């Protein structure tokens, strides 16, 4: 398809679609022009001196100590840069938002008040909880109303996250701050003696745009490519631009979350050749896998163990993005680093000696392999752009109240995810965890070996996943590129008893 034609069309349709949506603010999201005019004005970027700000570590809310927590979505001024505050959205008045830590078997209990002018809702990404607690966009709560979340956590240890999920505004809300970590622990993991406490670091990676006044800005109204995904040039880790972290010369567990809008990262280190991949989205792998780099698309998580033991005091190790051009042939905003861009993310400064009493066992947990023969049926989900340039699943723009697939509680199915476009899509399902059976493409993803809730389907690729439905009710499946899910690339499945 001619690119210019497509871009122009997609703007028109996105405009029509979005203007049909009530809570939408027209000036903010509708591009005024139909054709990209990126050459017109120069973007005034903020200046950042990399590795000068120390990594912020989120405060923790531990449900072993607290019985009940309170969140309220609100506008806040926070010091992302040290010289000027930035207006953002938070759950408790600061960024990063707190990390929720909970043990399998414990009760989660949280009162959420919406202090934003528009309706919103929190979703617990990767958690398998009753559908009324899941945070479906149809369950948004109005301004100044409160929702009480309570459920028992009953799934294996892993790195999860939470974020708001109002239809057509998820991208903008996460962009401005509304996400955080959600860590589940269990005894099985505890016995492994992996690095813990100060040696267990959550890293939430987001590329962002700031203007010269340190103000965050989202879509560029003059560039319709932004409707296909918003790329930024400043990388925040836990809301800190290109941070550094002082570390000891020993093993660390890094829990890495890609909470960006569209960017897929190909992560590697300068100064450390190999590291151990120990967990994927929904839990630990069977065994650590030594890798040199890992691809992490939007909403995916990886846990790795990195060992600084051979480093000397004063050495530095840089976490970087190698770039991953294969993920998209579609070019996005021409003024921001594209998918192939190499970018430094953060630096570790080896600053102290320490004894290491943690371990990295050769065997982690047992993952029962689900077999294709266990599946009662195969469903095909296509990822397509329909006439007018709208991103969809199975050619149907999202409707909050339509049930797209009905499945039976307790059964196992194969979902065949077919991408027929020139851009990769991270496919996510609520209310389940799944395994990857196979993929038609050439790239071997080490993350396919573990429990997943989000899987990257490469351009023109077909990925088969196998999933067992264990929670009844209505759940979502969607592309996790935030601008795609906000457009129309989302659907509902209903798990019936």
Binds ligand C2O (CB under 6 A): choice among 165, 245, 320, 464: 165
* Nearer residue to ligand C2O within complex by CB, 250 or 430: 430
What is the C-alpha to C-alpha distance for residues 282 and 158, in angstroms, rounded to an integer?
6
Q: Pick the binder of ligand C2O from 332, 478, 486, 491 (CB under 6 A).
A: 478
Using rule CB under 6 A, residue 476 touches ligand C2O? yes
Closer residue to Cu ion (CB): 126 or 243: 126
Among 209, 219, 320, 430, binds ligand C2O (CB under 6 A): 430
Output DSSP code: residue 210: B
Binding partner selected for residue 299 from Cu ion, ligand C2O, none, CB under the kind-specific 5 to 8 Å limit: ligand C2O
Residues 144-163 that bind ligand C2O (CB under 6 A): 163
Spell 373-386 as b/e; 16+ CB within 10 A means b. eebeeebebbbbbe
String of DSSP letters for 20-86: TSTT--HHHHS-S-SS--TTSS---PPP--TT-SBPP---EEETTT-S-EEEEEEEEEE-SSSSS-E
Nearer to Cu ion, 55 or 282 (CB): 282
Copy the structure tokens of residue 363: 């065997």
For 105, the 3-state DSSP assignment is: coil
**3-class secondary-structure state, position 400:** coil
Q: Write down the least CB distance from residue 126 to Cu ion, Å.
A: 6
Q: How far is CA 460 from CA 272, 360, 417, 463, 490, in A?
A: 34, 38, 10, 10, 19
Identify the residue whose tokens are 């990925």: 463
Nearer residue to ligand C2O within complex by CB, 180 or 195: 180
Q: How far apart are CA 169 and CA 73, in angstroms?
A: 14
Rounded to 5°, the CA angle 274-275-276 comes to 135
Q: 23 exposed, middle or buried (CB, 10 Å; 0-12, 13-18, 19+)?
A: middle
Reference 71, options 44, 99, 104; nearest CA is 99
Q: Which stretch binds ligand C2O (CB under 6 A): 61-69, 93-101, 364-372, 476-484?
A: 476-484
Question: Which one of ligand C2O, Cu ion, none interacts with residue 479, CB within 5 to 8 A by kind?
Answer: Cu ion
Question: Applying CB under 6 A, which part among 203-211, 347-355, 375-383, 474-482 lies near ligand C2O?
Answer: 474-482
- Interface region with ligand C2O, contact rule CB under 6 A, candidates 230-238, 342-350, 396-404, 472-480: 472-480
Residue with tokens 């679609």: 17
- Residue 136's binding partner out of Cu ion, ligand C2O, none, with CB under 5 to 8 Å set by partner kind: none
Q: Which residues pair with 382 in a beta bridge?
A: 418
Token pair in block for residue 422: 């020139």
Residue nearest to ligand C2O (CB): 125
Q: Give the nearer residue to Cu ion in terms of CB position, either 393 or 414.
A: 393
CB of 127 to ligand C2O, least distance (A): 10
227 versus 412: smaller Cβ distance to Cu ion: 227
CB 100 within 8 A of CB 70: no
Residue 245 in contact with ligand C2O, rule: CB under 6 A: no
Residue 484 binding result from Cu ion, ligand C2O, none, given CB thresholds of 5 to 8 Å by partner type: Cu ion
What would the two tokens of residue 455 be? 């899987």
Write the CA distances from 196 to 114, 189, 280, 353, integer angstroms: 34, 11, 18, 17
481 binds, among ligand C2O, Cu ion, none (CB under 5 to 8 A by kind): Cu ion
Task: Using the minimum distance from each CB to ligand C2O, give the nearer residue, 320 or 425.
Answer: 425
433 binds ligand C2O (CB under 6 A): no
Instruction: Please name which of 256, 424, 409 lies closest in space to residue 327, comparing C-alpha atoms.
Output: 424
Is the CB of 248 or the CB of 430 nearer to Cu ion? 430
Query: CB of residue 163 vs ligand C2O: minimum separation in angstroms?
Result: 6
CB nearer to ligand C2O: give 288 or 424.
424
Q: How far is the CB of 453 from ligand C2O (least distance, A)?
A: 8
Q: Which is nearer to ligand C2O, 163 or 320 (CB)?
A: 163
- Residue 215 phi, psi dihedral angles, 5° rounding: -95, 135
**Closest by alpha carbon to 275, among 298, 322, 307, 303?**
307
List 101, 123, 250, 484, residue binding ligand C2O (CB under 6 A): 123
Report the partner that residue 425 touches, choosing among Cu ion, ligand C2O, none (CB closer than 5 to 8 A by kind): Cu ion
Query: Per CB under 6 A, does 299 bind ligand C2O?
Result: yes
ω into 96 cis (within 30 of 0): yes
* CB of 449 closer than 8 Å to CB of 289: yes
Options 125, 301, 333, 439; binder of ligand C2O; rule CB under 6 A: 125
Among Cu ion, ligand C2O, none, partner that 69 touches (CB below 5 to 8 angstroms by kind):
none
The residues that touch Cu ion, with contacts defined as CB under 5 A, are 125, 425, 430, 479, 481, 484
- Given a contact cutoff of 8 angstroms between Cβ atoms, the answer to whether 192 and 361 are in contact is yes
* Minimum gap (Å) between residue 477 Cβ and Cu ion: 9
Q: Report the C-alpha gap between 351 and 188 in whole angstroms.
A: 32
Between residues 219 and 430, which has the closer beta carbon with respect to ligand C2O? 430
User: Taking the complex as a whole, how short is the minimal distance between the CB of residue 301 and ligand C2O, in angstroms?
Assistant: 11
State the binding partner of 253 from Cu ion, ligand C2O, none, CB within 5 to 8 A by kind: none
> Min. distance of Cβ 134 from Cu ion in angstroms?
8
Footprint of ligand C2O (CB under 6 A): 123, 125, 163, 165, 299, 428, 430, 476, 478, 480
């Amino acid at each position: 398809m001619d690119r210019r034609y497509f871009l122009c069309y997609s703007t028109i349709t996105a405009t029509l679609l979005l203007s049909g949506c009530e809570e939408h603010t027209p000036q903010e999201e509708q591009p005024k022009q139909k054709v990209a005019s990126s050459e017109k004005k120069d973007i005034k970027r903020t200046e950042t001196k990399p590795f000068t700000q120390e990594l912020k570590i989120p405060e923790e809310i531990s449900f072993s100590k607290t019985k009940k927590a309170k969140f309220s979505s609100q506008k806040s001024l926070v010091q992302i840069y040290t010289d000027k505050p930035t207006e953002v959205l938070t759950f408790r008045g600061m960024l990063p938002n707190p990390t929720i830590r909970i043990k399998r078997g414990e009760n989660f209990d949280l009162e959420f008040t919406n202090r934003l002018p528009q309706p919103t809702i929190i979703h617990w990404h990767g958690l398998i909880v009753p559908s009324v607690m899941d945070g479906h966009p149809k369950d948004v709560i109005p301004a100044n109303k409160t929702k009480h979340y309570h459920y028992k956590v009953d799934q294996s240890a892993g790195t999860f996250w939470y974020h708001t999920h109002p239809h057509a505004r998820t991208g903008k809300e996460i962009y401005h701050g509304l996400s955080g970590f959600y860590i589940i622990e269990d005894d099985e993991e505890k016995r492994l003696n992996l690095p813990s406490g100060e040696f267990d670091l959550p890293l939430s990676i987001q590329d962002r745009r700031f203007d010269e006044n340190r103000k965050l800005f989202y879509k560029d109204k003059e560039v319709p490519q932004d409707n296909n995904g918003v790329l930024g040039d400043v990388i925040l880790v836990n809301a800190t631009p290109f941070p550094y972290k002082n570390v000891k010369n020993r093993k660390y567990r890094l829990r890495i979350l890609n909470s960006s809008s569209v960017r897929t990262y190909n992560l590697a280190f300068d100064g450390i050749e190999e590291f151990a991949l120990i967990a994927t989205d929904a839990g630990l792998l069977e065994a650590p896998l030594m890798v040199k780099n890992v691809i992490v698309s939007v909403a995916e998580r990886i846990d790795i163990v990195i060992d600084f033991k051979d480093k000397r005091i004063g050495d530095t190790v840089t976490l970087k993005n190698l770039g991953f051009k294969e993920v998209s042939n579609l070019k996005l905003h021409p003024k921001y680093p594209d998918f192939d861009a190499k970018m430094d993310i953060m630096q570790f400064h080896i600053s102290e000696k320490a004894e290491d009493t943690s371990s990295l066992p050769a065997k982690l947990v047992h993952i029962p392999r689900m077999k294709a023969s266990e599946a009662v049926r195969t469903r095909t989900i296509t990822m397509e752009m329909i006439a007018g340039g709208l991103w969809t699943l199975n050619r149907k723009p999202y409707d909050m109240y339509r049930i797209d697939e009905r499945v039976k509680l307790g059964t196992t199915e194969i979902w065949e995810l077919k991408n027929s476009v020139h851009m990769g899509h991270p496919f996510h399902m609520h209310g389940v965890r799944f395994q990857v059976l196979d993929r038609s493409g050439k790239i071997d993803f080490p993350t396919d070996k573990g429990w997943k809730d989000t899987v990257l389907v490469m351009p023109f690729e077909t990925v088969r996943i196998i999933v067992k439905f264990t929670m009844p009710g209505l759940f979502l499946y969607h592309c996790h590129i935030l601008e795609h899910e906000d457009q129309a690339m989302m659907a509902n499945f209903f798990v019936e008893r």
